[in-house]
Amino acid sequence: MAKIKPSKGAPYARIMGVGGYRPTRVVPNEVILEKIDSSDEWIRSRSGIATRHWASPEETVTAMSVEAAGKALADAGVSPEQIGGVIVSTVSHFKQTPAVATEIADRITPSKPAAFDISAGCAGFGYGLTLAKGMVVEGSAEYVLVIGVERLSDLTDLEDRATAFLFGDGAGAVVVGPSQEPEIGPTVWGSEGDKSETIKQTVPWTDYRDGTVERFPAITQEGQAVFRWAVFEMAKVAQQALDAAGITAADLDVFIPHQANMRIIDSMVKTLKLPEHVTVARDVETTGNTSAASIPLAMERLLATGQAKSGDTALVIGFGAGLVYAATVVTLP
């Protein structure tokens, strides 16, 4: 029996650089209030959101991803030719096939890397990061781009009082490469499909195509059910990620949760009993909920503003539609 030659990957993997892109149009709550019966005070108190970015027709999923990826490559000091994989997490690319990752890869690099999309909602960045780590350690790619990108304004029902104010657009990217030290911890991830109705698309695309419904499909959610699940169950997952990494909350420098809602973030901080020295990402206030893009966008802003620094130990956790989740501890680039 022939023996298969073992893979020759790196001992470990790390995040080497991060980049982000926010659309130029800033949308305040006052614009949202044109379509729903609410108030700026109510939106801020329920979500913590004051503004969000909405993409123009030119700011496509591909265009935003290319911008974010270019910044991440520059930050990492990695040339486009060195990229061996492009992983894109998105739920707002409206072509079933081909994967938008292939188009993005073609615009970024001539190296013809492996390229594919994943659909894991707001946990998508964590899923992509874990897959990229595996590729680097296994040896199938030396450097991998992980991109979270959304144009959720295309999937927002502006007349839905429960969700109209939540969503924003943008792209965040990281470069994952080889490391001699463990700088991306074990991932704690999973799914709870029995709760799939709590965050979902209103109707299948076929209902709109066949004329069964006149309104274009949008994202809807059961706010209270999602809040309870995120605060209590995801705090447990976050603790499991700390345990898996062999550290405690006191060892953390930074906490970067999915930017779903300020109340969820603050409640998780309290439940996890994070020390005061831990910097907490609260990018949701000016960016809104950008699903798969929210963690890398928040990471980039913390580093750019000096609220976090290279080498800091950060806990990242994403959670959302599915319901799915992924948490890990990383060293910031």
> Residue 281's Cα: distance from chain center in Å?
13
Q: What is the C-alpha separation between 300 and 21, in angstroms, rounded?
A: 10
Q: What are phi and psi of 151, to 5 degrees?
A: -120, 70
d(C-alpha 71, C-alpha 154), whole Å = 25
Half-sphere exposure for 198 (CA within 13 Å, toward CB): 19
Of 29, 53, 93, 258, the catalytic one is 258
Whether 189 contacts 325, CB under 8 Å: yes
- Is residue 303 within 8 Å of 18, Cβ to Cβ? yes
Consecutive H or E run containing 31: helix 29-32
Sheet with strand 143-151: strands edge to edge: 12-21, 169-179, 143-151, 83-89, 114-118
261 is catalytic: no
Cβ atoms of 333 and 16 within 8 Å: the answer is yes
* Parallel, antiparallel or unpaired: strands 169-179 and 12-21: antiparallel
- Out of 29, 53, 93, 122, the active site residue is 122
Q: For the chain, what is the total number of helices (H) and then of strands (E)?
A: 11, 14
Structure tokens at 185: 């911890």
Active-site pick, 29, 93, 261, 289: 289
How far the first Cα of the chain sits from its last, in Å, is: 44
- Of 62, 147, 57, whose CA–CA distance to 107 is shortest? 62
258 is an active site residue: yes
> How open is the CA angle 174-99-9, to the nearest 5 degrees?
45
Q: Provide the 8-state DSSP code for 167.
A: B
- For 298, the enclosing helix (H) or strand (E) is helix 294-304
**Any idea which residues carry the catalytic annotation?**
122, 258, 289
